[in-house]
Chains A and B, each alone.
Chain A
Amino acid sequence: MIGSFRKKGLAAASAVIAVAGLALTSVPAQASVPGVTANSVKLGITVPMTGIAAPGYSKVAPAMKAYFDYVNANGGINGRKIQLVIEDDRYLPQEAVIKTNKLILRDKVFAIVGALGTANNLAINSRVRLGARGVPSLFVNTGFSGFADKKKFPTIFPLFSSYAMEAKIMGNYIKENFAGKKIGLIVQNDDFGVDALKGFAASGVKFDETIKYVSGTQSPATALTWVQKLVAAKIEVVYLFGVTTATAAAVGVAAQAGYRPQWIFGSVGADATTIQTATTVPVALLNGAISASFMPDAADTSDEYVKFFREVNAEYNKGVTFDNNVLVGMNGGMMVANALKAAGRNLTREGLMAAIESKGSTFASAALVPLAYSSTSRVGYTGYWIGKYNATGSLLPIEAKNVVYTTDSGNGPVVKTTTKRPALPPKGLPQ
């Protein structure tokens, strides 16, 4: 009897050990998390460092790295230094797929951060299959609202306010401020444009002339056909919701033709620095144009975040002119640092994503609009403020007291928000 009991006891003990062993195999130890060591965490980013979209966008990743260098110089996050591997995707989806695979397989990065471009992010998601592999892709540099679909993009966290939000807010603005005027729209004929059209439809704004162009075909020659149509239709207000090269082409050709409508530019296509560096069009042509942004203007040194990031740029990104792209890169870096901090010392990919869902809406960052992350929302920033360009390409608030509007990417209302942006944390480091 004793023997039998002992045998049963041993068997039971073995079973417990074996079951425990099986259970343990499904919970990876800290050391087994890709890209994470006791004192470092490795991240990867794909951006156009060369190629047609490099002017402007090539500044984003080095700026993010500069902020990480600053963080590392101040002890890192939770005792870990942040390494950023930058890969040049030349703004080509296939190149982005190749480079992202390398980041995951060769460099063993913990997460992808700040990947740039709607098409590139779509290609990365479907061809590299980030969701199936459980690889987080944080704070993508695109405003395509579709990335907030958690079911379809389970590991992607958008950051930018969506194009749909922008179009809805600006649609309302047009209705209120240009009633009775003939309104025209130039829009990109892809998901970027679809998002905008969705937002315009939600606002109820009507366009008297809509011109669609295919990304990659914009040039002074095609812009001339746009201008001819707009002139023929007697359009007084033109909303160009496209990329910077389209903006430059349209503005340049219109100026030559003596056509001077009230221009309104989408936030993507109106970066003055990019127009200055990538085109031959004088920035002064933007003077008086209306646009929208969720970030403070890079020239606004009265903004504490801008002032701080300028200091970081001067020390850790030497020789690089501070502009909106640098600001976006550093702000993305700050968001990543926030997320790593919130995820805690025991860093896992699942834990990182859970931390953004639970605490992301309170992260400190430079944007002037609230964040909306939650367990049921992957939406990042949720609104825009409206401004007017001056002759030097700075976007200044259109109203004396800057008003920030928030909304969603669907049919929700546009409201003026009273939410205060979190103050810059001490030393600009996540708390």
Chain B
Amino acid sequence: MKRTFKAIAVGFTSAALVALSLVVVPTAANANTPVCATVGGIKSCQGRTSDGAVYALQAPLNFNGTAFLYSKGYRPMISIPGRSDVANSSLAEQAPGPDAATKVAVATYLLSKGYGVFSSGFSKAGWNTDSALKTNVELIGIWKKEFPNTKKIVAWGESGGGFMTQALAENHSNLIDAAVPLCMVGGSVEAALKMAGDALWGIKTFFDPTIKGGGYSAGTAGVVEQLTDIGKIAAALTSLSGAVATGAWPATATAVPAAVKAAVPSRSAVTLVGQMAGLPNISANIDGVTGPGDPASLPHAQFVLGAAPAIATLQNMQDAAILGVLLVADLEGINGGRVFDNTKTDYEVQLGDAKAIYNLALSGNDAADQLLGVLKAAPRETADPAALTKLRAMVSHKGVINVPTIAMTAPFESTTPGGHVQWLINANKANLEKAKTAAVAAIRAGKPRPSTTNNLMVIWNFPPDKYTTFTSAGLPDTTRPAANGTKHCNYTAAQLTAMAEIGALAAATGKLPNTAQARILMRKAGGLSFDRDFEAALLKFYANE
């Protein structure tokens, strides 16, 4: 029996790999006419939607009638050497995962359980939700035509793909039976733009004012500008990482008065930027509570309270600032002008209680005030009103839950922290309250009662309490793999397949699985928590509303 399973698993793996490595798009394939082949018990099809998006469909011969539509996350418009390749952005990826191996493992698992999997590479990279929504709608039709015995569709996706998943559920709930947004962007892209934009502007202001940060040119010149900015950010962050102990400022920090640089260590400016932008205070290798040496010693406390917030911010900032460059340039291109605007932003208000909580890392109130003074005096970014209007007309969420929805997110992750999902939770709560009021009125009026059932379940991916380790030199080891629950969409295959199973349960019954069922699946996966009462910190974009 074991041998049989193993053989099947190998077959599935091979089939999944074949599909996942689809790069060459069959020129003969047209919309609704996929090219299919059956290998190792898996029927795999590929083709293009009417907008040119490459798609892949896969189902085992014992397809159980439930299929997963996966929407991948944001893929940059440009190639960034050493990070990702734009050529890959057109790939259809069949399942979520922080790396190719996890994606294959998740897709393989689903196929082995009789589920179907399908996805597209979308017709373009960048913030493509408006077009991707149409692509997904068409793709569901293509899937159902190819696999007419389909009974249920579960939509899932990561990051920007989580945003698409929620948008699909809000706008085309008749096409899907459950939604599983993962590490999602919630509400509007402007929320993500603000966090990334604030971080980018903070880095520019404090550490290198030659960073363009916005107003990117069109075409090749714009690509060069973005890559140049990314290079400058990387250089600044590298310099800052090496100066956490000394507090030295990078040579490029020319906009900061010498008196401030003499009085305030650069790590305090790093911490301030992270906190004012709303970046998490823990990161891939920094748990915020572990220090070197005797826990009762002053150096231990000084590391945890004074240095760790800066190191964590540096780790998170790399993702946030680079995303800032890409997103700003992308959204400027889409909307025809500058879209990031901080002319009215009060960074002291955004810093809020962090001034007290991270007081040692900020080197005290006076130092924090000096840094805030630098920000107040610095030139601000002004958006083009017409471009901003267009940005705000792009697809956004209403926070309406039309199908059973199970969201998973890590509250302290670097790019889409829990505040995105918290927005959805809050919007859903408000909608449910309205529905209850409407239900009371409807009943009193003798009219049909609208539904007041909660259909949103949020599963939190908490990092371990402690995971920072130190080198023999007493320095934090930042070379270790990121802890689960940190970085961006850094889930394990077990966590992702648990989410898939919970999504499938919801699709099968038309309602959220009971908590006992969900807890069993979560316990097996590890690192997941269903806590109805947990509240993640709202993003600065929403906290300021």
Determine the distance from Cα of A132 to Cα of B363 in the docked complex, in whole angstroms.
Answer: 30
Nearest chain A residue, comparing its CB with the CB of B362:
A214
Whether B443 and A18, one on each chain, are in contact in the complex, defined by CB atoms closer than 8 angstroms, is yes
Whether A122 and B353, one on each chain, are in contact in the complex, defined by CB atoms closer than 8 angstroms, is yes
**Given A19-B440, A90-B289: A123 and B301 interface contact (C-beta under 8 Å):** no
Whether A133 and B533, one on each chain, are in contact in the complex, defined by CB atoms closer than 8 angstroms, is yes
By a CB distance below 8 angstroms, the chain A residues around B297 are: 52
Q: Mark A46-90, 1 if CB is under 8 A from B, else 0.
A: 000011101000000000000000000000000000000000001
By a CB distance below 8 angstroms, the chain A residues around B366 are: 189, 212
Whether B363 and A94, one on each chain, are in contact in the complex, defined by CB atoms closer than 8 angstroms, is no
**Looking at the complex, which of B54-62, B189-197, B398-406, B444-452 is the stretch in contact with chain A?**
B444-452
By a CB distance below 8 angstroms, the chain A residues around B289 are: 90, 92, 94-95, 98
Nearest chain B residue, comparing its CB with the CB of A90:
B295
By a CB distance below 8 angstroms, the chain A residues around B353 are: 122-123, 125-126
Whether B356 and A190, one on each chain, are in contact in the complex, defined by CB atoms closer than 8 angstroms, is yes
- Whether B47 sits at the interface, judged by CB under 8 Å, is no
Whether A94 and B359, one on each chain, are in contact in the complex, defined by CB atoms closer than 8 angstroms, is no
- Whether A313 sits at the interface, judged by CB under 8 Å, is no
Within 176-219 of A, Cβ neighbours of B (below 8 Å) are at: 189-191, 193-194, 212-217, 219
- Whether B305 sits at the interface, judged by CB under 8 Å, is yes
By a CB distance below 8 angstroms, the chain B residues around A91 are: 301
Nearest chain A residue, comparing its CB with the CB of B444:
A15
Whether A19 and B444, one on each chain, are in contact in the complex, defined by CB atoms closer than 8 angstroms, is yes
Whether B365 and A194, one on each chain, are in contact in the complex, defined by CB atoms closer than 8 angstroms, is yes
Whether A212 and B281, one on each chain, are in contact in the complex, defined by CB atoms closer than 8 angstroms, is no
**Given A50-B295, A91-B301, A126-B537: A216 and B444 interface contact (C-beta under 8 Å):** no
Q: Mark B503-545, 1 if CB is under 8 A from A, else 0.
A: 0000000000000000000000000010101111100000000
- Whether A298 sits at the interface, judged by CB under 8 Å, is no
**Given A94-B282, A123-B357: A15 and B535 interface contact (C-beta under 8 Å):** no
Whether A94 and B288, one on each chain, are in contact in the complex, defined by CB atoms closer than 8 angstroms, is yes
**Given A52-B297, A105-B529, A122-B357: A216 and B537 interface contact (C-beta under 8 Å):** no
Q: Mark B344-382, 1 if CB is under 8 A from A, else 0.
A: 000000001101111110011111000000000000000
Whether A105 and B465, one on each chain, are in contact in the complex, defined by CB atoms closer than 8 angstroms, is no
Whether B282 and A216, one on each chain, are in contact in the complex, defined by CB atoms closer than 8 angstroms, is no
By a CB distance below 8 angstroms, the chain A residues around B436 are: 22, 26
- Whether B212 sits at the interface, judged by CB under 8 Å, is no
By a CB distance below 8 angstroms, the chain B residues around A94 are: 281-282, 287-289, 304
By a CB distance below 8 angstroms, the chain B residues around A98 are: 289, 465
Within 316-339 of A, Cβ neighbours of B (below 8 Å) are at: none
Determine the distance from Cα of A372 to Cα of B535 in the docked complex, in whole angstroms.
Answer: 31
Nearest chain A residue, comparing its CB with the CB of B463:
A98
Whether B535 and A132, one on each chain, are in contact in the complex, defined by CB atoms closer than 8 angstroms, is yes
Whether A52 and B443, one on each chain, are in contact in the complex, defined by CB atoms closer than 8 angstroms, is no
By a CB distance below 8 angstroms, the chain B residues around A214 are: 359-360, 363-364, 367
Determine the distance from Cα of A216 to Cα of B357 in the docked complex, in whole angstroms.
Answer: 13
- Whether A287 sits at the interface, judged by CB under 8 Å, is no
- Whether A128 sits at the interface, judged by CB under 8 Å, is yes
- Whether B1 sits at the interface, judged by CB under 8 Å, is no
| Distance of A56 from chain B, by nearest CB (Å) | 13
Determine the distance from Cα of A431 to Cα of B506 in the docked complex, in whole angstroms.
Answer: 52
Nearest chain B residue, comparing its CB with the CB of A124:
B357
| Distance of A24 from chain B, by nearest CB (Å) | 12
By a CB distance below 8 angstroms, the chain B residues around A260 are: none
Q: Is the interface of A mostly helix, strand, loop or mixed?
A: helix
Query: What size tier do the contact residues of chain A reach?
Result: 35 or more
How many residues belonging to B are interface residues under a CB distance threshold of 8 Å? 44
Determine the distance from Cα of A126 to Cα of B535 in the docked complex, in whole angstroms.
Answer: 10
Determine the distance from Cα of A219 to Cα of B444 in the docked complex, in whole angstroms.
Answer: 71
Whether A215 and B296, one on each chain, are in contact in the complex, defined by CB atoms closer than 8 angstroms, is no
Whether A122 and B356, one on each chain, are in contact in the complex, defined by CB atoms closer than 8 angstroms, is yes
Determine the distance from Cα of A125 to Cα of B352 in the docked complex, in whole angstroms.
Answer: 12
- Whether B494 sits at the interface, judged by CB under 8 Å, is no
Determine the distance from Cα of A123 to Cα of B367 in the docked complex, in whole angstroms.
Answer: 20
Determine the distance from Cα of A253 to Cα of B232 in the docked complex, in whole angstroms.
Answer: 47
By a CB distance below 8 angstroms, the chain B residues around A150 are: none
- Whether B298 sits at the interface, judged by CB under 8 Å, is yes
Whether B304 and A50, one on each chain, are in contact in the complex, defined by CB atoms closer than 8 angstroms, is no
Whether B296 and A54, one on each chain, are in contact in the complex, defined by CB atoms closer than 8 angstroms, is yes
| Distance of A155 from chain B, by nearest CB (Å) | 12
Whether A22 and B452, one on each chain, are in contact in the complex, defined by CB atoms closer than 8 angstroms, is yes
- Whether B300 sits at the interface, judged by CB under 8 Å, is yes
By a CB distance below 8 angstroms, the chain A residues around B367 are: 189, 214
- Whether B238 sits at the interface, judged by CB under 8 Å, is no
**Given A52-B298, A95-B289, A189-B364: A215 and B359 interface contact (C-beta under 8 Å):** yes
Within 337-355 of A, Cβ neighbours of B (below 8 Å) are at: none
- Whether A234 sits at the interface, judged by CB under 8 Å, is no
- Whether B395 sits at the interface, judged by CB under 8 Å, is no
Determine the distance from Cα of A132 to Cα of B439 in the docked complex, in whole angstroms.
Answer: 25
Determine the distance from Cα of A194 to Cα of B368 in the docked complex, in whole angstroms.
Answer: 13
Nearest chain A residue, comparing its CB with the CB of B437:
A22
- Whether A299 sits at the interface, judged by CB under 8 Å, is no
Determine the distance from Cα of A119 to Cα of B360 in the docked complex, in whole angstroms.
Answer: 11
Q: Mark B266-303, 1 if CB is under 8 A from A, else 0.
A: 00000000000000011000011100000111101110
- Whether A374 sits at the interface, judged by CB under 8 Å, is no
Whether B443 and A127, one on each chain, are in contact in the complex, defined by CB atoms closer than 8 angstroms, is no
Q: Mark A14-35, 1 if CB is under 8 A from B, else 0.
A: 1100110011001000000010
- Whether B306 sits at the interface, judged by CB under 8 Å, is yes
By a CB distance below 8 angstroms, the chain A residues around B536 are: 129
Q: Which of B356, B465, B535 contacts A128 (CB 8 A)?
A: B535
Within 94-129 of A, Cβ neighbours of B (below 8 Å) are at: 94-95, 98, 101, 104-105, 118-119, 122-123, 125-129
By a CB distance below 8 angstroms, the chain A residues around B439 are: 18, 22
- Whether A284 sits at the interface, judged by CB under 8 Å, is no
Given contacts A193-B365, A215-B364, 4 further A-B contacts (CB under 8 A): A92-B301, A190-B359, A190-B364, A215-B360
Pairs across A and B, CB under 8 Å, 11 listed? A51-B300, A52-B297, A92-B289, A93-B305, A94-B287, A95-B288, A101-B534, A132-B535, A191-B355, A215-B364, A216-B301
